[in-house]
Every structure is written in C-alpha cells, then in structure tokens.
C-alpha cells in the first residue's frame, strides 16, 4: 500500500502564496482595465485552488490504516488536524465567493473603480488567509513529515524484530532480506529503521527492526514511545524477540527475560530467538533457555546459522494465516 500522504501536493505556505499573487499582479495585463483587474483576481483564485486540492487530497482520517493514524497522533493532535482541514476548506470557499462577487462588481463597475475593487478583493482574501495562517502552515508542516513515511507497508505480513540494543536486530534484517534493506525514518523513533523484504514466491513478507521501540522496559517510556508501540502493534505480523547469549552480551539473562515478557503482551505471537550462538556464553544461554517455555530458535545472524529453519517456521505460520491478527484491512482513501 502506498503511503496515503505520499502523493499529496504540498502548497506554498500562507505568506508565500500571498507573495506569489502580489509579485504576479503587476505583470498581468488585459485588453482593457476591467479585463485586467478581473484576470488579476482570477489569478488569486487559481492559487487558492492549491489549498482546496490540498484538503481534497488529504486522506480521510477515519478510514486511515491504524498504523498511519498512530503515526499522525505521534506528531499531531488528530482533532486539530480535522479542525484545520475544515478551517482551510471554509476559508477557501469564502475566498472563492468573495472573488466571484468582486468579479461581478468589476464587470459592472466604472473603469476608474476597477483597480480599487481589485485591491479591495485582494485585501479581503488575504486577510481571510492570514486569519487561518496558523492552521494552514501547521498542516503543511505535518503533511510534509507524513509524506516521508516510506518503506513500511502496514498491509504486508510483517516480521518485527525486537530485543535490546546491540543483540543483532539489524544484522538479522539484512541477512534474511532478499535485497539490501531500506532505511526508513518514522516519527516514532529517532533511530533509523531497517526495512527488508522476503519473497517466498507466493507472497511477500516485510521484515523490520525496531531500534528505540521495543528495546527497553515500558516503565522507562514516555507517551510518544507508548504511541510508537501502538503503531507497531497495528502492523500485521509477528515478533521475533532476539536474545544475546554471547560472551559480549551487555545484558543479563534477567534483563533480557523481563523485556521479553513485556514484548509478549504486545502481539499474540512472539517467537524467542537466541542470537550469537557462534559465541555462546554457556551460563547466560542456560539461564535464558531454562526460563522460556515456548519453542526457542537458536541462530547466529552474523554467521547465518539456523536462519533457514527459523525462516521456514515463520513463513509457514504466515502462510497459514495463523498469526495474522484478525482485524479489518483498512483501505487507503487517498
């Protein structure tokens, strides 16, 4: 699914749009004075159409995939977005009405009055825009940010790789992806997310790591990070939780197990995976393994050990649709 914000054409900000009109007006001529002034106000109308198109292109928030809705919520108040869309729409409509009224006035006016009427029209429309400047400019900024959300497709079956920092998440993404993973920026983390794909020949799977998201205890999280977890929750897939069982692990067995327990509450299927098995620390390995009741996979992402077994298991689950959360597929209205 295409990012529903990706194709929105970003209009100029309020003062920039007014300036475009102001700069252009002296250059617009006509067969006579009245025609010239009408052409000038119609040029303003043409520019305002950019705001109208902007509002029209904005996806219907209630129909957005929850993954995108959560992403909006991280950077903006959804009620404010709706309010601003309405305010811009009404402002444009009001301006169109004013322009139409002045067009008729100029048409039936004295030639000497035409220029004054055009300037009056310009002033009135500009003040309508300026009274909505906060909304217009804010929504333009928000949309510019949302346009950048690429690479993650919330409708693809997804393998989400979680675990503390440095356990090998991004290494695993790159090892199991068919091509070089893309690097994506999302409002829910300051770190870059790696997004790869696996083509099973029957369907495509997306694989992402989650730096800065599912990597530390919930109690240490702020509200934005909690929303980030909601965004991840809304992805259609399963979590592979990576443990580091190597000699170089910076986390104890308890720290890793505590986080694993928390992550298990996020998605229905969380598969425990012991990584760095090529450099196994027997004590750490034993402590972790003893405390997990579920089926455990042992891999070395770096040395490509155990990856096929793990992948076959995951693909099988995805193929049988066992792990997909039973929820509607949200349609992109954009």
Q: Which is nearer to ligand GDP, 101 or 303 (CB)?
A: 303
- Of the two residues 65 and 169, which places its CB atom closer to ligand GDP in the complex? 169
Residue 139's Cβ-count burial label (10 Å; 0-12, 13-18, 19+) is buried
Q: Least distance in Å: CB of 236 to ligand GDP?
A: 22
Residue of closest CB approach to ligand GDP? 168
CB of 256 to ligand GDP, least distance (A): 12
Is the distance from CB of 167 to CB of 274 less than 8 angstroms? no
Pick the closer one to ligand GDP by CB: 87 or 299.
299
Q: Which residues bind ligand GDP (CB under 6 A)?
A: 165-171, 209, 246, 275-276, 278-279, 300-303
At closest approach, how far in Å is the CB of 165 from ligand GDP? 5
CA 240/CA 86 separation, integer angstroms: 43
**256 versus 300: smaller Cβ distance to ligand GDP:** 300
> What is the closest distance, in whole angstroms, from the C-beta atom of residue 22 to ligand GDP in the complex?
52
Matching residue, tokens 């055009």: 118
- On whether the CB atoms of residues 65 and 330 are closer than 8 A, the answer is yes
Considering only CA atoms, which of 325, 324, 160, 174 is closest in space to residue 242? 160
Q: What's the closest the beta carbon of residue 232 comes to ligand GDP, in angstroms? A: 15
Nearer to ligand GDP (CB atom), residue 122 or residue 251: 251
CB of 127 to ligand GDP, least distance (A): 53
Residue nearer to ligand GDP on the CB measure, 100 or 182:
182
CB of 302 to ligand GDP, least distance (A): 3
Residue closer to ligand GDP, measured from CB, 157 or 168:
168
> And the tokens for 222?
């702020």
C-alpha 152/C-alpha 75 separation (Å) is 17
């Amino acid at each position: 699914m295409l990012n529903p914000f990706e194709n929105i054409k970003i209009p100029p900000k309020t003062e920039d749009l007014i300036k475009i009109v102001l700069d252009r007006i002296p250059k617009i001529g006509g067969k006579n004075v009245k025609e010239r002034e009408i052409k000038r106000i119609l040029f303003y109308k043409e520019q305002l159409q950019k705001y109208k198109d902007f509002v029209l292109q904005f996806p219907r928030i209630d129909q957005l995939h929850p993954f995108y809705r959560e992403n909006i919520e991280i950077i903006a108040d959804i009620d404010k977005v709706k309010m601003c869309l309405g305010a811009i729409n009404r402002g444009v409509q009001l301006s169109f009405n004013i322009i139409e009224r002045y067009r008729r006035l100029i048409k039936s006016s004295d030639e000497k009055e035409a220029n004054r009427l055009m300037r009056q029209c310009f002033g009135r429309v500009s003040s309508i825009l300026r009274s909505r400047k906060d909304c217009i400019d804010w929504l333009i900024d928000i949309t510019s940010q949302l346009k950048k959300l690429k690479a993650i497709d919330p409708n693809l079956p997804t393998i989400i790789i979680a675990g503390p920092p440095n356990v090998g998440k991004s290494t695993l993404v790159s090892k199991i992806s068919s091509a070089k993973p893309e690097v994506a920026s999302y409002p829910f983390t300051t770190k870059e997310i790696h997004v790869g794909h696996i083509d099973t020949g029957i369907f495509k799977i997306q694989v992402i790591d989650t730096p800065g998201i599912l990597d530390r205890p919930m109690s240490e999280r702020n509200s934005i990070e909690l929303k980030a977890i909601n965004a991840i929750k809304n992805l259609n897939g399963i979590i592979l939780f990576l443990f580091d069982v190597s000699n170089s692990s910076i986390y104890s067995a308890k720290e890793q197990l505590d986080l694993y327990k928390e992550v298990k509450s996020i998605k229905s299927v969380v598969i425990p995976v012991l990584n760095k098995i090529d450099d196994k620390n027997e004590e750490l390995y034993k402590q972790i393994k003893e405390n997990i009741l579920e089926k455990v996979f042992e891999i070395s992402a770096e040395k490509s050990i155990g990856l096929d077994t793990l992948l076959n298991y995951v693909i099988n689950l995805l193929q049988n649709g066992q792990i997909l959360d039973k929820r509607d597929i949200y349609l992109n209205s954009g």
